[in-house]
Amino acid sequence: MEPDKKVQSPEKATALSVEDRAFLQEVVERDRVEHHGRVSYMDILFEVEHRYGNFLPGEVLREVARLVGTSVAQLNGFVTFYTMLSTKPRGRHVIRVCTSGPCHVTGAPAVMAELERLLGVGEGETTPDGAFTLEGSSCLGICGVSPALMIDDDAYGNLTPKDLPGILAAVRAGGAQ
Amino acid sequence: MIRNQLLICAGGACITSGEKSVKDVLVEELAKNGIQDEVQIIETGCMGACDLGPIVVVYPEGTFYQKVTPQNAGPIVSEHLVKGRVVSGLLYRQPTSETRAQTREEISFYTLQVKRVLRNCGVIDPLSIEEYIARDGYFGLGKALEIGPDAIIQTIQESGLRGRGGAGFPTGIKWKAARDASGSPKYVVCNGDEGDPGAFMDRSVLEGDPHSVIEAMVIAGFAIGAATGYVYVRAEYPLAIERLEVALTRAREYGFLGRNILGSGFDFDIEIRIGAGAFVCGEETALLRSIEGKRGMPSAKPPFPAQAGLWGKPTLINNVETYANVPPILINGAEWFRSVGTAKSPGTKVFALAGKVQNTGLVEVPMGTTLRELVFDIGGGIPGGKAFKGAQTGGPSGGIITADYLDMPIDFDSVKELGTIMGSGGLIILDEDNCMVDVAKFYLAFTVDESCGKCTPCREGTKQMYQIMERITDGKGTPNDIGKLKTLGRVIQQTSLCGLGQSAPNPVLSTIRFFPDEYRAHIEDRKCPAHACLHLLTYSVVSEKCVGCTACARQCPVQAITGQVKKAHVIDQATCIKCGSCYEVCRFDAILKE
């Protein structure tokens, strides 16, 4: 919930290129048309986050706030409320380990511990090479194959710690499951 | 000319088990055998039996193949479809005998279910509106437009349908309140922010039968006089969002959405709004704020959403499963709906079986079904011959139903008497290895994390309760901790702003009520009877049994075990990290875990 200092930084605000500004304007305008004048912050921010390496830089948020016609504080409040949006840089791939009840009782803690060991980072951290951010997630809704995790939009289930090196290698190599 | 259809379960769980590769192999095999034009492959929504996935069903016979892999999928084509010989190795083996089931009708997991909400899940291609229509889809809408708003609401009221999202509020009353409310425009919202850990019926309905929700929302819009609907879906469910988008487009093309629906003069359209990992957004007032582009924080009721909801306008909000019940009620009538279930909770309920149970997955049964039928007859009992200890219902807002109540009919009201709630239908089965104090602490940690922070009892109170629970599981509990937890719990229940806080103490209060001995063992004996709380666990060597094979010493990751070859070994308690690897590796039963 801590405010992102970059949002208030005027010199950063000028860091956006012409292409950035055109992109953001296009995203917001398209969303405005799609939603009959009432923009969906979430749709816009997900798309923007995707382009800027899985996070929302302060200068980008500032521009989005201007385009949708709200204050930076209001938009920042929105962003920091939702755990799937981030104002801190994240890796190219976001690993979300389900930490909910069914996964907890069938072995999620061991999966998380092994990922921390394999990646050398703790929960909420990003690997130094920028490949992975490791996060805990609320229920992924695939409890029938718990413990489970998602990497980007792909889900993996019935996990044991020994499955993890193979999954990470496949994602690193660019292939999904 | 199509002679066979191959149904492949493309539910979220089967996809994780390799459904896509299985499908690729089947497509390839069909082409190899030159029968690709005679056999149609259909990817369906969730078939429910997640632990048996990936599942392939061959029609017209209905042969049910389970645990299909890319390696063993080939014979389904080369043997079954080409030579007419059933691939018996892929059939489901009955747990109680050596026989194998040919079809779903022979598997008790399926035969004891009554599929109403899940009527199309695992049966049709969710991306095909034609298949939905072929199963009476949009017929309920047609009927609704014919009979008019008052008769629709009367039918829903007579059916006795209650909200499937957790609280069990009568749906008809909500609809009537939204219709009677003054103010314009009005909105229809579908709550698909299924956040209860262990509940995934809404995901399965959205992924497996999205049109059923769309149809119900159009009916609701017509009944209350709204022109716009919003489906709020969690970003954790990308497949549900994708299939819903396709379904909305198809529905527009067919004139079930948009202007002048079915020539009635009624206009209605639906947009998707996405949630992004805030559990509290499942609370209806919080969800509405989130759609408005604000922080998803709840507000006090009244005013109820039916009076002042989205942008302050009258808003009808129901959960996914509730909506999925609506079209069949309009087609078949209120009496039909009441023909199963209990007097006060008619109809069916979808439960998600997860945790320590043989058959995991989604099951739909009449309200009033007992826990014993769910866990043992449908669920196949507890794996590894362990003892059933309890079922956690209602996620972090619920509590435990213990073995003493296995034969109690489950409905909204009976579970409430036990201090828990039905919730959205997640049933997490716990066995003797699960520590009830640990489970309660786990859920409390969840609510502490997800509390939005707006009201003090929830923000501060749950944190205090958590600290006491942590003290207990660390072996530092004091005898009056149980009393403190109870008092604090009651205050939080009575004074929190929204359902999240009001129900947050339930897991703790419920486990104190049914497992007081476990709490006492943690506090007075500093022991965890289930051996789950690490701080209370010790591993030691029983010197009479130890033969000095050194296996444990070699396995120990922190060199906490010392001893000479062929002499009894010793574990240094200060160094031991309680990983249990010595316990696993010892072949002489010489490691004592207590």
pLDDT digits (tens, 9 = 90+) for A107-145: 898 899 999 999 999 999 999 999 999 999 988 989 888
Q: Is A165 on the interface with B (CB under 8 A)?
A: no
pLDDT at B580: 86
Residue A5 lies in a domain: no
* Co-location of A60 and A131 in the same domain: no
Q: Which residues of A touch B200 (CB under 8 A)?
A: 139, 141-144
State residue B146's pLDDT score.
97
Among the candidates A48, A81, A114, a domain finishes at: A81
Q: Do A139 and B199 touch (CB under 8 A)?
A: yes
Instruction: Tell me which amino acid residue A153 is.
Output: D
Residue position matching structure tokens 């199309």: B120
In a domain, A4, yes or no: no
- What amino acid is encoded at B5 in this protein? Q
Best probe of the A interface among B16, B310, B351, B531, by most A CBs < 10 A, is B16
- Here the CATH number for the domain that contains residue B445 is 1.20.1440.230
Instruction: Measure B237 CA to nearest chain A CA, in Å.
Output: 7
* Residues of chain A contacting residue B207, judged by C-beta atoms under 8 Å apart: none
- What CATH number has the domain bearing residue B379? 3.10.20.600
Q: Phi, psi at residue B68, to the nearest 5°?
A: -75, 135
Q: Which of B207, B231, B236 is the best mutation test for A, with the most CBs of A within 10 A?
A: B236
Rounded CA gap, B323 and B326, in Å?
5
Alpha carbon distance B537, B526 (integer Å) = 9
**Model pLDDT, residue B89:** 94
- Compute the distance between CA of residue B574 and CA of residue B409 in angstroms, rounded to an integer: 50
The span from the CA of A4 to the CA of B449, in Å, is 21
The residue behind tokens 């048996």 is B52
In one letter, which amino acid is B149?
P
Q: Which of A42, A146, A150 sits opposite B354 (nearest CB)?
A: A146
Q: Determine the residue of chain A that is closest to B431 in CA distance.
A: A105
Q: Last residue of a domain, which of B416, B431, B446?
A: B431
Is residue A72 a part of any domain in this protein? yes
Instruction: Note whether B217 and B268 are same-domain residues.
Output: yes
Tell me the C-alpha distance between A141 and A154, whole Å: 13
Q: Which residues of B touch A145 (CB under 8 A)?
A: 13, 16-17, 50-51, 53, 360
Task: Tell me which residue in B274, B296, B443 faces A101 most closely, judged by beta carbons.
Answer: B443
B369: containing domain = 348-431
d(CA B187, CA B271): 11
User: Minimal Cα distance from B18: which residue of A?
Assistant: A177
- Output the pLDDT for position A4: 46
Do B315 and B206 belong together in one domain?
Answer: yes
For residues B302 and B392, state if they share a domain: no
DSSP one-letter string for B298-355: ---SSSPTTTS-GGGS-EEEEEHHHHHHHHHHHHH-HHHHHTSB-SSSBSEEEEEEEE
Lookup result for tokens 């600290």:
B467
Same domain, B277 and B216: yes
Strands (E), B29-164: 39-44, 56-59, 63-65, 92-93, 100-101
Which CATH number does the domain housing residue B65 bear?
3.40.30.10
| Chain A residue nearest residue B444, CA to CA | A101
Task: Output the pLDDT for position A13.
Answer: 46
Has residue A30 been placed in a domain?
yes
What is the β-pairing status of strands A132-137 and A93-98? parallel
Q: Is A143 within 8 Å of B354 when comparing Cβ atoms?
A: yes
pTM to 2 decimals? 0.91
Q: Select from A83, A148, A156 the Cβ nearest to the Cβ of B277.
A: A83
The DSSP-derived string for A95-164 is EEEE-SHHHHHHTHHHHHHHHHHHHT--TT-B-TTSSEEEEEES--S-GGG-S-EEETTEEE-S--GGGH
Expressed as residue numbers, the domain containing A73 is 10-81
Name the residue among A40, A82, A106 with its Cβ closest to that of B355: A106
How far apart are the C-alpha atoms of B50 and B362, rounded to whole Å? 8
- Rounded to whole angstroms, the Cα distance separating B273 from B234 reads 9
Whether chain B has a CB inside 8 Å of the CB on A149: the answer is no
Instruction: Tell me whether residue B549 is in a domain.
Output: yes
**Which residue positions in chain B have pLDDT lower than 70?**
none
* A70 contacts on B by Cβ (under 8 Å): 293
Chain A nearest C-alpha distance from B199 (Å): 6
- Residue A155: which of B12, B439, B446 has the nearest Cβ? B12
Give the chain A residue whose CA is nearest to the CA of B199.
Answer: A141
Beta-carbon count within 10 A of A72 CB: 19
Residue B238 lies in a domain: yes
The total of structural domains in chain A comes to 2
Structure tokens, A140? 């992924």
Contact A158 B16 (CB under 8 A): yes
How far away is chain B from the Cα of A43, in angstroms, using its nearest Cα? 7
A155 touches chain B (CB under 8 A): yes
User: Mind telling me how many Å the CA of B395 is from chain A's nearest CA?
Assistant: 8
A166 touches chain B (CB under 8 A): no
B352 shares its domain with B316: no
Counted across chains A and B, CB pairs separated by less than 8 A come out at 151
Q: Which of B259, B277, B316, B140 lies closest to B211 in space, CA to CA?
A: B140
Please tell me whether residues A56 and A109 are part of one structural domain.
Answer: no
A6 — pLDDT class (breaks 50, 70, 90) = very low
Task: Write out chain B residues lying below 8 Å of A82, CB-based.
Answer: 275-278, 296
Do B259 and B142 share a structural domain? Answer: yes
Residues A160 and A99 in one domain: yes
Res B94: pLDDT: 84
Please list the residues that pair with A132 across neighbouring strands. Answer: A93
Would you put residue A11 in left (φ > 0), alpha (ψ -120 to 50) or beta?
A: alpha
Confidence grade of residue A14 (pLDDT, cut at 50, 70, 90): low
Rounded-to-integer distance, Cα B326 and Cα B155, Å: 10
Residue B411 CA from chain centroid, whole number: 16
Q: Which run of H or E residues covers position A93?
A: strand A93-98
H helix or E strand, kind and range, residue B227: none
3-state secondary structure of A11: helix
Which residues, 6 or more positions from B469, have their beta carbon under 8 angstroms from its beta carbon?
Answer: B437, B440, B441, B444, B485, B508
Looking at chain B, which residue has its C-alpha nearest residue A77? Answer: B295
Provide the pLDDT for residue A90.
95
The pLDDT, as a whole number, for residue B166 is 81
Domain closes at, from A20, A53, A81: A81
What is the rounded distance in angstroms from the CA atom of residue B298 to the CA atom of residue B278? 12
* Paired sense of beta strands B187-192 and B315-319, if any: parallel
Q: In whole angstroms, give the CA distance from residue B228 to residue B231.
A: 10
Are B200 and A146 within 8 A, CB to CB?
no
- Expressed in angstroms, the distance from the first to the final Cα of chain B is 67
Query: Looking at the complex, does the CB of residue A2 fall below 8 Å from at least one CB of chain B?
Result: no
| Pairwise CB contact (< 8 Å): B354 & A102 | yes
Which of B134, B165, B108, B104 lies closest to B325, judged by CA? B165
Q: How many domains does chain B have?
A: 5
From residue A1, alpha-carbon distances to A76, A97, B289 in Å are 9, 22, 18
> In chain A, what residues touch B450 (CB-CB under 8 Å)?
138
The string of pLDDT tens digits covering residues A68-99 is 999 999 999 999 999 899 999 999 999 999 98
- pLDDT in the model for residue A35: 86
> Which of A68, A81, A96, A158 to substitute to test the interface with B, most B CBs within 10 Å?
A81
Last residue of some domain: B465, B493, B525? B525
Cα separation, B33 vs B78, whole angstroms? 7
- The pLDDT value recorded for residue B416 is 92
Contact (CB<8Å) A145/B198: no
B197, A99 in Cβ contact below 8 A? no
Inside any domain, residue A50: yes
CA distance A97 to A138: 8
Same domain? For A117 and A143 the reply is yes
Average pLDDT, chain A: 88
At residue A15, the pLDDT reads 79
Structure confidence at residue B289 (pLDDT): 95
Q: Using 50, 70 and 90 to split pLDDT, how confident is the model at A176? A: very low
Whole-angstrom Cα distance, residue B320 to residue B359?
Answer: 24
Query: What token pair was written down for A43?
Result: 């749709």
Helices (H) and strands (E) in chain A, counts: 9, 4
A82 touches B at CB < 8 Å: yes
B87, B76 Cβ separation under 8 angstroms: yes
- The sign of the dihedral angle between the CA atoms of B338, B344, B349, B353 is negative
How far does CA B38 lie from the centroid of its chain? 37
Q: Are residues B185 and B206 in the same domain?
A: yes
The ipTM value here is: 0.86
